[in-house]
Amino acid sequence: MNIAVFGGSFSPFTLGHFFVVGHILMNDPDIDQVMVIPCFEQEGKNNLAPYDLRLEMCNAALKYFAGRRVVVSDIERNTRSFTVETLRLLHELTPPGDHFRFVMGADLIDSAKTWNGWEEIEKLAPPYIVGRAGISNSEATPICPAVSSTLIRELLSFGDYLTAEKYLCRDVLDIIKRENLYIDNQIAN
């Protein structure tokens, strides 16, 4: 099985993330499954929404792909790990014939070379580069609209649900409202 591994903080899970999953499923005949993995912690990002709520947001948004080869994994629950460690664990837990591709935005290509274990990441799961608005990269699939989690968190911190809902799946926004996430810059990064 060929699996696209799509990790991130997903704080919150945006329509941009949703489009990436949809694009891979609809347009890449070589990918059998997309595995979405919210990280427990992410270096450089403080005050993420609680892990269980980010996991719930991923599941809520991705329910629209039910039965369409999407898995939300909690493999990183309760542990801070680097991408290379998660990929090693996936290789240990899956059948020997499974192959992985690591989904990453074109905006991360330059900095990825400095990541812990980058050369091993490239071997364990060759990068599947996803285009982002405003970032030019000839290898990237040009699919991701200009959606920024940082902008969405800022809008929500001021209670601007009307604008934020343009960038979120309805069910994700319902969770954010129910839990009062991102209000008054509680969760700013």
Q: Which residue has the higher pLDDT, 79 or 121?
A: 121
Range with the largest mean pLDDT of 6-15, 105-114, 135-144:
6-15
* CA distances from residue 160 to 73, 145, 178 in whole angstroms, order as listed: 30, 20, 15
Q: Are 81 and 46 in contact (CB under 8 A)?
A: no
> Which residue do the tokens 């990453």 mark?
104
Q: Are 58 and 73 in contact (CB under 8 A)?
A: no
Q: What is the pTM of this model?
A: 0.83
Q: Is 91 exposed, middle or buried (0-12, 13-18, 19+ CB in 10 A)?
A: middle
Question: Given a cut of 70, is residue 188 above it in pLDDT?
Answer: no
Give the residue among 153, 125, 157 at the shortest CA–CA distance from 10.
153
